[in-house]
């Protein structure tokens, strides 16, 4: 199995691509702040899942990286809050994106609660 087969990775990747497309419509003055931050945090969810999965032989490292993915997912949620409050997102889009963030958070939470199901087993 490859990390790309993980449902959490697949959903996080799809969300980061949606955020990429949506953020193209944000004002140019946000290029080096909100746009950059929301793209980075959403992409970091995927990166940390991939890194953690590759280090699953070491349970503490796996949990640390998956915990980082959870943190980045929460950061994405906060940046979406700012995008809504600044008027860059319609409520419907915001609600849809937040729903996806929440689902990804649940999947990551499952990975944290059950690392052994992902090959992270203490020897």
Q: DSSP letters along 32-81, please?
A: IIIIHHHHHHHHHHHHHHHHHHHTTTSHHHHHHHHHHHHHHHHHHHHHHH
Does some domain include residue 122? no
Task: Dump pLDDT digits (tens) for 55-111.
Answer: 999 999 999 999 999 999 999 999 999 999 999 999 999 999 999 999 999 999 999
As for how many domains the chain has, the answer is 1
Q: Say what percent of the chain tops pLDDT 90.
A: 95
What residues make up the domain containing 97?
Answer: 3-117
CATH code, 60: 1.20.1440.60
- What are 82's two structure tokens? 């700012």
Average predicted confidence (pLDDT) for the chain: 96
- Residue 28's contacts (CB-CB under 8 Å, 6 or more residues apart) are none
> Is residue 121 very low, low, confident or very high in pLDDT (cuts 50, 70, 90)?
confident
pTM, full prediction: 0.94
Does some domain include residue 123? no
> Is residue 123 very low, low, confident or very high in pLDDT (cuts 50, 70, 90)?
low
């Amino acid at each position: 199995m490859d990390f790309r087969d993980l449902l959490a990775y697949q959903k996080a990747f799809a969300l980061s691509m949606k955020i990429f497309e949506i953020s193209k419509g944000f004002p140019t003055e946000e290029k080096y702040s909100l746009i950059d931050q929301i793209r980075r945090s959403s992409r970091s969810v995927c990166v940390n899942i991939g890194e953690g999965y590759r280090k699953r032989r070491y349970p503490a490292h796996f949990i640390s990286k998956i915990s980082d993915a959870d943190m980045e997912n929460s950061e994405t949620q906060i940046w979406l809050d700012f995008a809504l409050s600044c008027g860059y997102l319609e409520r419907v889009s915001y609600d849809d994106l937040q729903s996806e963030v929440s689902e990804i958070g649940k999947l990551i939470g499952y990975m944290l609660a059950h690392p052994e199901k992902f090959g992270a087993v203490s020897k």
